[in-house]
Amino acid sequence: MTRLRLAVFGSGYGSNCRAIHQAISDRQLTAEITVIISDQEKAGILDFAKEQGIPAFRIASSDFASLTDFHHALLEILKQYHADMIILAGYMKKIGKPILRAYPNRVLNIHPALLPAFGGKGLYGKRVHQAVLDYGAKITGVTVHLVDEEYDHGPVVMQKAVPVLDHDTADSLAERVLQTEHELYPTAIRLFAENRVRIENRKVIIMN
């Protein structure tokens, strides 16, 4: 089986990227992280890239005269590293149309709630978990979805529920949800690596 070549984008610590990398090392996932991209200078995900010797770039639209130039530079990097798929792992920027067009149904994101609940613009990080607690929801979870032009909106690939406990704080909930993210993301990527995904409108059909 050929190895799926992943470009992982992140703005933060990169624990999901680390979990994906671990799944690859453990041979749970036939893939390769060929490049890591961050918009943030001081992102843990870039430290991880350095530790592992994975090519990495700090690149943000603010470095460029226009969005067109930024997208052009980004696409050049993706091409240079022969990325088959883009994996958003805590990437805080919206993915532009030129990138989505170059990677149709090939950009994945992970969201720390059960979409369409507790998602959309402004709902990221701790804010998601606080919103779940404020609402009094009994169940939250993780969603892996394809990325389209709207925040947290593309077709759902996989979801897994996580119970909300009475004594939960945003931190304790975030921690439990994150553990589930680390299991679910490599599992979802594996479906693509094994070519088992068919997409019909909003429906992601998983073939055996």
Catalytic center residues: 111
Select the span of 1-9, 24-32, 105-113, 155-163 touching ligand GRF (CB under 6 A): 105-113
Tokens 């984008």 -> residue = 9
Tokens 């005269």 -> residue = 65
Is residue 140 within 8 A of residue 113, CB to CB? The reply is yes
Of the candidates 178, 188, 193, 204, which one interacts with ligand GRF according to CB under 6 A?
178
Residue 18 is given by DSSP the state H
Of residues 61 and 179, the one with the C-beta less far from ligand GRF:
179
Structure tokens of 141? 């979870």
186 binds ligand GRF (CB under 6 A): no
Select the span of 26-34, 46-54, 76-84, 104-112 touching ligand GRF (CB under 6 A): 104-112
Of residues 112 and 186, the one with the C-beta less far from ligand GRF:
112
Of the candidates 10, 141, 154, 186, which one interacts with ligand GRF according to CB under 6 A?
10
152 binds ligand GRF (CB under 6 A): no
Of residues 4 and 89, the one with the C-beta less far from ligand GRF:
89
Is residue 34 within 8 A of residue 7, CB to CB? The reply is yes
Site residue total, ligand GRF (CB under 6 A): 13
All residues at 6 or more sequence positions from 101 whose CB lies less than 8 Å from its CB, including other chains: none
CB of 52 to ligand GRF, least distance (A): 15
14 binds ligand GRF (CB under 6 A): yes
111 binds ligand GRF (CB under 6 A): yes
Q: DSSP string of 17-81?
A: HHHHHHHHHTTSS-EEEEEEEES-TT-HHHHHHHHHT--EEE--GGGSSSHHHHHHHHHHHHHHT
User: How many residues in the chain?
Assistant: 208
Of residues 14 and 154, the one with the C-beta less far from ligand GRF:
14
All residues at 6 or more sequence positions from 140 whose CB lies less than 8 Å from its CB, including other chains: 112, 113, 114, 117, 118, 129, 132, 161, 162, 164, 173, 177
Of residues 64 and 180, the one with the C-beta less far from ligand GRF:
180
154 binds ligand GRF (CB under 6 A): no
Q: Which residues bind ligand GRF (CB under 6 A)?
A: 10, 12-16, 89-90, 110-112, 178, 181
